[in-house]
Structure 1
Amino acid sequence: MKSTFTKFCRRRLAAAIATLALGAASTAAIAQDQKKGISDDVVKIGLLLDLSGVLTDIAGQGTATAVQMAIDDFGGKVNGKKIELVFADHNNKADIAAAKAREWFDTAKVDALLDVAGSATALSALEVARLKNKIIVFNGPGTLRITTDLCAPTAIHYAYDTYSLANVTAKAMLKNGGDSWYFLTADYAFGASLQQTATEVIKEAGGKVLGAVKHPTNASDFSSYILQAQSSGAKVIGLANTGADTVNAIKAAQEFGLLKSGKQKLAGLLMFINDIHAIGLPSAQGLLLSEAFYWDLNPETRAWSKRYFEKAKRMPNMIQAGAYSSTMLYLNAIKATGTDDTETVMKKMKATPINDFFAKNGKIRDDGRMVHDMYLFQVKAPNESKSPWDYYKVIGTVPADQAFLPLAKSTCPLVKK
């Protein structure tokens, strides 16, 4: 009995020592991180936006407004150190985006890029962030490559991507009989990615793609593209573009009477509330689209959006809401760890569940994709809208594990197979 009791006591003592050791190690790790402190005694956030081009209405000044709101709501300081925001226009040119990112990281002491508008510009800035070992978060671009073959340990894709958009919208159209497609595709990385992803979804569901036509960004005349789509006989015309290009394509479709016969429908694969506002409900009514956020979803979204409206004089889109949310995640990670060190902050961000007005039970996967629910909306008819910006009807909610590319299919080298 004595021997058994002695062994029991020894085991309990060993367990207690091990627990103390783990606690000490954890405390030591936290202390070590805190010793790193805030570099240059300031937390500097950068944004590379489209302030003068085709994306300016959806990924321009409005994003800067949302990030500044987050900084202000945080009190303008984190752990006693000032938070600064810098932003610039990359003119939708990849070389300018890369050069500005490099300049900011090297000489302006920017700690993190928390958005880059546009896919081609985003990919160029991503490579600079990878080289400089800096945090980069994306809300504006959609290209899936951010979390597949070009994924980086310091990169997060936050609001949406081409897979989630095409997956949700295309499946809804297919369910309603839209089994033949023709694409109007923006001739750059984002458009190609959106068309490819939608094509895969369509073919997997037994549908077919009859063809596609590419158009330059910021195209002034869509008449020839609409005529080609019309003559294809496809039941669905998929708009693999965004911003002003999407608005102009829909207006041209109306002018040419593409939708009057009822034989063809438009599918906006990336549309924002800004686009519906620009088009107007008479032309946009009935469109199906997917988004990660809508200002009138619930009391939380309404409360934040009304504050945003007071500053921007328009309701926010999912890019702007995501930019606020991801900025708060970044600043809270710095507050919790006591440092702006890249590895430490990124580790904390990836370990933190996202529960705010933008996303519930959101989480950042190993490939850098922040997964969350997506929503399928239908644009209201004019007589259904009760107030300005009252544009969407919620058709359905798609859970995160069904909306985004399954991790098992990811080609990201960071994902353990």
Structure 2
Amino acid sequence: MIRRMLLLATALAGLAALPAAAQPAPKREAIRIGILSDLSGSFADVAGPGSVVAAQLAVEDFGGRVAGLPVQILAGDHQNRADTGSALARRWFDTEGVDAVVDLPNSAIALAVGEVARSANRVALVTAAVASRLTGDACSPNLIHYSLDTWSMSNVPSRALVQAGGASWFYVTADYAFGHDLEKQSMDAVARAGGKVLGSVRHPLGTTDFSSVLLQAQASRAAVVALANSQADFINSMKQTSEFGLARRGQRVVGLAVYVSDIVSLGLETTQGATVVGNWYWDLNDGTRSFARRFGERMGGRMPTDLQANVYAAVTHFLRAAEALGSSTDGRAIVARMKALPTEDPIFGRGTIRADGRRVSPVYVFNVKSPAESRGRYDVYRVEREVPVEEAYRPLDQGGCPLLRGG
């Protein structure tokens, strides 16, 4: 009797020790992509609901299915809070079967969600945040960065304007980490190009009256006044540079973090002649115009921003990699496949993804048109220069990404 009980206990223990892989896996119903954005706050125009539309267009163009499974788009609002964004991403990954989180305006949220994706072994595709750390010390085998970062946004226009004769600079800088980063990287680029920094003044986030700040910029007699701020701060400061007549007095104004929706909001009377850097514009070619027309049909006539175009590109490339790997949920494997495949889509053309997760595609210096040159509300840029790739992005060996040393 005792011998039979021991045999039974041994058999039961053996069953309990069977690997989890031997148990039937739950059936997968869909490939799910979560657009985690700011749906109603300060980033809603540059990303927000338009990012959801861009993702839907990418899925439709891909055929709506991957490895025999339907592709579903979810949307969530991070409310510009890192804890809210992280919690939603964690729930999506852990309980709702989301394979990839896309968009992520607000760098603090992008950095936090990148860590959630790493721990869950899912995918984070950053198409809106601009922190250069995302491909620097915070790079991840689960993350790809599509939007331009603070390095490109600072270095490209700074070098271009110094070379065009803008030898002296003055900075109007938002007094928090984002503004400080833009200012420092631009100052370094100006110095490397042979220019000179005459001074800077910092302002609190949410400043509405820039009078004292702009008086200092005007008194500096700098050839270039650089606005190292964004969103409402950029709009307010740019509007007041026009009222102060800086451009009429021969000072060139450059915004280091500007989107087409900002220019449309301000109007060409205020922004004409400004220099802007971006990796996409809706009126570049037939492919961009076709996408913009379809986007506009769903967005009340609005044209897409470069951040929204990034969503289309990121989702398209993710679906290509997922198709190649079947129904795998291994985020690291999917990101590795995305890096191995050249990027290619009808609105950006061909590009690559570097080992640090940096998507590399053309970058442009734009000049804002005058009202007389414009053919319509969204006809705001003309291309001044296409920047060589080797100048447009931080060199791979200068970011400190641990992946490059096996980390």
TM bucket by the smaller chain? 0.7 to 0.9
Aligned-partner Cα distance in 2 for 1:283–1:42: 48
Aligned-partner Cα distance in 2 for 1:270–1:37: 47
Residue 279 of structure 2: aligned partner? 292
Residue 234 of structure 1: aligned partner? 222
Task: Give the letter aligned to residue 377 of structure 2.
Answer: P
1:270 to 251, 257, 267: 257
Residue 379 of structure 1: aligned partner? 368
Task: Give the letter aligned to residue 60 of structure 2.
Answer: D
Q: Which 4+ runs in 1 deviate beyond 4 A?
A: 36-39
Q: 1:224 to 1:52 in 2, by over 3 A?
A: farther
- Kindly report which structure 2 residues correspond to 1:13-52, keeping only aligned pairs within 5 A, or say none: 40-52=28-40
1:388 to 377, 381, 399: 377
Task: Give the letter aligned to residue 99 of structure 2.
Answer: D
Residue aligned with 2:79, SS = coil
Are 2:47 and 2:103, in contact at CA under 8 Å, matched by a contact in 1? Answer: no
Residue 70 of structure 1: aligned partner? 58
2:95 to 102, 107, 111: 107
Residue 161 of structure 2: aligned partner? 173
Q: 1:309 to 1:177 in 2, by over 3 A?
A: same
1:329 to 304, 309, 317: 317
- Kindly report which structure 2 residues correspond to 1:241-390, keeping only aligned pairs within 5 A, or say none: 241-262=229-250, 264-312=251-299, 313-339=301-327, 340-390=329-379
**Which whole-Å deviations, capped at 9, do the CAs of 1:77-129 have from their partners, x for residues lacking one?**
22222222222222222222222222222223221111201112211212222
1:82 to 70, 78, 87: 70
Are 2:208 and 1:220 aligned? yes
How many pairs align?
Answer: 381
Alpha-carbon distance, 1:321 to partner: 0.7
Q: 1:74 to 1:361 in 2, by over 3 A?
A: closer
Deviates more, 1:280-289 or 1:249-258: 249-258
Runs of 5+ consecutive residues of structure 2 not aligned to the other structure: 1-23
Residue 398 of structure 2: aligned partner? 409
Q: 1:138 to 1:37 in 2, by over 3 A?
A: farther
Aligned-partner Cα distance in 1 for 2:374–2:302: 16
Alpha-carbon distance, 1:416 to partner: 4.2
Residue 158 of structure 1: aligned partner? 146
Are 2:47 and 2:305, in contact at CA under 8 Å, matched by a contact in 1? Answer: no
Task: Give the letter aligned to residue 407 of structure 1.
Answer: L
Are 2:121 and 1:133 aligned? yes
Aligned-partner Cα distance in 2 for 1:151–1:208: 33
Aligned-partner Cα distance in 2 for 1:37–1:191: 48
Alpha-carbon distance, 1:60 to partner: 1.5
Are 2:170 and 2:217, in contact at CA under 8 Å, matched by a contact in 1? Answer: yes
Deviates more, 1:323-332 or 1:90-99: 90-99
Alpha-carbon distance, 1:39 to partner: 7.0
Alpha-carbon distance, 1:344 to partner: 2.5
Aligned-partner Cα distance in 2 for 1:217–1:346: 36
Aligned-partner Cα distance in 1 for 2:78–2:202: 23
- Kindly report which structure 2 residues correspond to 1:142-157, keeping only aligned pairs within 5 A, or say none: 142-157=130-145
Alpha-carbon distance, 1:404 to partner: 0.4
Are 1:185 and 1:239, in contact at CA under 8 Å, matched by a contact in 2? Answer: yes
Alpha-carbon distance, 1:354 to partner: 1.4
Aligned-partner Cα distance in 2 for 1:111–1:307: 26
Residue aligned with 2:356, SS = coil
Deviates more, 1:87-96 or 1:284-293: 87-96
Residue 30 of structure 1: aligned partner? none
Are 1:185 and 1:241, in contact at CA under 8 Å, matched by a contact in 2? Answer: yes
Deviates more, 1:318-327 or 1:169-178: 169-178
Alpha-carbon distance, 1:38 to partner: 9.7
Alpha-carbon distance, 1:142 to partner: 1.0
Runs of 5+ consecutive residues of structure 1 not aligned to the other structure: 1-35
Task: Give the letter aligned to residue 223 of structure 2.
Answer: K
Are 2:175 and 1:191 aligned? no
**Which whole-Å deviations, capped at 9, do the CAs of 1:266-322 have from their partners, x for residues lacking one?**
111121111111111111111111110111111111111111111112111111111
Alpha-carbon distance, 1:37 to partner: 9.8
Are 2:35 and 2:103, in contact at CA under 8 Å, matched by a contact in 1? Answer: yes
Alpha-carbon distance, 1:360 to partner: 3.2
Deviates more, 1:286-295 or 1:250-259: 250-259
Aligned-partner Cα distance in 2 for 1:405–1:86: 33
**Which whole-Å deviations, capped at 9, do the CAs of 1:42-70 have from their partners, x for residues lacking one?**
21111221223222211221111111211
Q: Percent identity?
A: 43
Q: If the length of structure 2 is used for normalisation, what is the TM-score?
A: 0.88
Q: 1:378 to 1:179 in 2, by over 3 A?
A: same
Q: If the length of structure 1 is used for normalisation, what is the TM-score?
A: 0.86
Q: 1:43 to 1:55 in 2, by over 3 A?
A: same
